Structure 1
């Protein structure tokens, strides 16, 4: 894993901790003004910063994955996680714009290519993810929870990869 990916992982962890603390503080304060300030800080500072780091993380992951060799079992485990997320979104298709659902179908098609190794499928689907992240924010897709649930999976994959 590159130094930049490790740095982004730490930055994201820090931002998620800030987000959690502000949300918790908003829920526990009887002061309406403080609650409003916390919610504004989340909306105007924390979430945009998280979005920026997530997008950079996926762009960097896409770029670096070209030169990596993934352990087949690790790649398959990651594919299983991504496929489960796609299925979860598809079950609530009415909540998402057609553009997002179309891109999810493209990713799913890459993941289901017959006769292709899991590592090749994963690299193909990773190449689609950065625009997916941009669409997700426009379409209100819950990438925050996607990242929180799946970062450990991606990190294990990268740690097991070889250059």
Structure 2
């Protein structure tokens, strides 16, 4: 299977997962049953969101970087948000999250600190790492700064 075929498969999978997430969110809004709502929230948190992040990570790892066209100005704005999200996560006591998250944060820091790359190049390199951090944010029930940033970046790239 070629990368192009896998990217298309991943896009279809993600579309289905986002549709499923939307249906669960509608169910939460329309239902007054607290027990059922708790179960739906747990399914979203433990099944849907981790699956979305897993497939998003693979999607962005396979997505051809040359196809991503982002101006340096736009990339710089998003990188500032990524930096703010990294700082906010780092302020949480380190025993509150897994060591894999620390490794991902360090990897993002290393990529952001490279002085020889343009902002758009840095953002392209960081893209595959962001879904995993957003997933950890959900597990830690933090503010979700990385998740919000990730949503903005996805919209910019898909334009």
User: Normalising by the residue count of structure 2, what TM-score does the alignment of the two structures yield?
Assistant: 0.70
Closer/same/farther in 2, CA of residues 78 and 14 from structure 1, 3 Å limit: farther
Residue 126 of structure 1 corresponds to 127
Residue 100 of structure 2 corresponds to 99
Contact 2:111 2:122 in 1 (8 A): yes
Task: Report whether the alignment pairs 1:154 with 2:151.
Answer: no
Closer/same/farther in 2, CA of residues 133 and 147 from structure 1, 3 Å limit: closer
Q: Deviations over 1:62-88 (max 9, x none)?
A: 321423233212222221121111011
Deviation at 1:96, TM superposition (A): 1.9
Looking at structure 2, the residues matched to 79 and 54 of structure 1 have their Cα atoms a distance apart, in angstroms, of: 19
Provide the alpha-carbon RMSD of the alignment: 3.4
Closer/same/farther in 2, CA of residues 107 and 66 from structure 1, 3 Å limit: same
User: Normalising by the residue count of structure 1, what TM-score does the alignment of the two structures yield?
Assistant: 0.68
Q: Deviations over 1:31-82 (max 9, x none)?
A: xxx31122112213x3312321232123212321423233212222221121
Q: Deviations over 1:15-44 (max 9, x none)?
A: 15633651x567xx4xxxx31122112213
Q: How many equivalent pairs are there?
A: 148
Deviation at 1:152, TM superposition (A): 2.5
Written as runs of structure 1 = structure 2, the 5 A alignment for 1:72-111 is 72-94=72-94, 95-111=96-112
Unaligned runs of 5+ in 2: 1-6
Closer/same/farther in 2, CA of residues 17 and 93 from structure 1, 3 Å limit: farther
